Amino acid sequence: MNPTNRPVHPVHPVHPVHPVHSVHPVHPAHRPAASLPAVVLLVAIALPGCIAVSKDAYQRDMIAMRQQQDWLEAQKKRVQVELIACQQKHKACVDVANTCARDKQELTDRLDSNQKKMDALAHSCGNCGVLLSNCEREQMALQAEIAKWRDKVAVVQGRMDKVQAQLDALRDSIARIKQRLAGLIAAGKLNVSIKNGFLVIEMQSDILFDTGKSELKAEAKSVLLELAAVLQQFPDRRFQVAGHTDPRGGDAINWSLSTDRAVSVVQFLIGKGGVAPNNLSAGGYAHYLPVAANDTPEGMRRNRRVEFLLMPNLTELLELAGVKED
C-alpha cells in the first residue's frame, strides 16, 4: 500500500519496482499537505507489507518530474516556433498576391493611358490610321499580359488556399492525436513531439521489449492496444513505425534488432489492434538517429525507443508544388 501513488525504492525485493527515470508525474492536488517522507515512513512502519520511501528517492522523483515538465515546455515552445514559421510563409504568399494585384492595376492604368493617347492622336494627326493600328497592337499586347498576370494570381491564390487547408488539417490532426493520447502521455508511457517537421509519438523500448529481444512483452500489449484505437481514428493518414537502438552490439545486430522490433509492433497493431495494413510501414534505424548522447546509461536508455511518425501526403505536396502525375 502506497499513500502517495508513486513508484518507490523497495526496502526488500518483494515486488519489482520501476527505476526512478520512469516515475510518472503526480498531480499537485494529490500531494499530501504534511511532510511526505515522514508520513510514508510512519505508514510503512505501521502497516505490514508496506514499502518505505526515503527522502532521497522522493527528491529524485521530484527532480525527474520537473525535468519532464521542462522538456514538455520546450516541446510546446518548439511547436509554437514552427507555427509562427508557417504563419510567416502564409504572409509571404499574401504579399505575392498583393504584388500581382498591384501589377495588374499598373498594367490597367497603362492600358487606359495608351487608349487616351490613341484617341488624342486620332484627332490631331493626319496619319491617324497608322497610329491607331499601333495603339491597337499595343493594347492587345497589354491585354495579353494582363491575362497572364490574372492567371498567375489565380494560381497563387489556389496554392495559398491549399496551403492553408493543409495547415488547418495538420493542426487538427496534431490536436486530436494529443487529446486522444493524453492518458498515456500523463502516465509517462509515451511522448508526442514535432521533429524535423514530423509529428512523432515516442515510446521507450524498455516498455515494449526485453534487452536484445524483438518479441513484445506481455505488459506492452495493453499500451499498444490503446495506441491502435487512436490510430484507427485516422484512416486517411499513414504512420511509420521506426525502431532505434543504442550503439552496443554493433551495426549488424542493431540494424536487424531495430527493424525486427518495428515489424513486431506493426504486426501486433494489424493483427491485434485492427489498424489497416496500408496505413502502416516499418523501418529500422539502428543507432544512427540518437536523441541523446550515448555516454551515459540514461542517454542510451532514451535512444532505445520505438517511434510512430505521422507521414505527409506526398501527392498533396506535389500538387502544391505544381507537379502533376503522369
**Secondary structure, 3-state, 244-263:** ECCCCCHHHHHHHHHHHHHH
Range in 116-125, 144-153, 161-170, 174-183 with the lowest mean pLDDT: 161-170
Sign of CA pseudo-dihedral 284, 289, 295, 299: negative
Q: What are phi and psi of 140, to 5 degrees?
A: -65, -40
3-state secondary structure of 194: strand
The three grid cell numbers given for residue 106, joined into one nine-digit string:
499598373
DSSP annotation of 24 reads: P
Q: What is the average pLDDT across 15-30?
A: 46
3-state secondary structure of 211: coil
pTM across the whole model: 0.49
- The Cα–Cα gap between 47 and 275 comes to 46
- Whether the predicted pLDDT of 243 surpasses 60: yes
Secondary structure element (H or E) that encloses residue 280, with its range: strand 280-284
- The Cα–Cα gap between 267 and 280 comes to 9
Pairing label, strands 239-244, 280-284: parallel
**pLDDT value of residue 16:** 47
Q: What is the average pLDDT across 142-146?
A: 90
CA distances for 274 relative to 156, 187, 224, 234, angstroms: 41, 24, 11, 12
- The Cα–Cα gap between 242 and 239 comes to 10
Residue reference for cell 516499418: 282
Q: Which residue has the higher pLDDT, 209 or 160?
A: 209
Q: What is the average pLDDT across 53-68?
A: 91
| Nearest CA-CA partner of 231 in 170, 195, 274, 179 | 274
Average pLDDT, the chain: 80
**pLDDT value of residue 285:** 96
Which of the four pLDDT bands, split at 50, 70 and 90, describes residue 11? very low
Range in 46-60, 94-108, 135-149 with the lowest mean pLDDT: 46-60
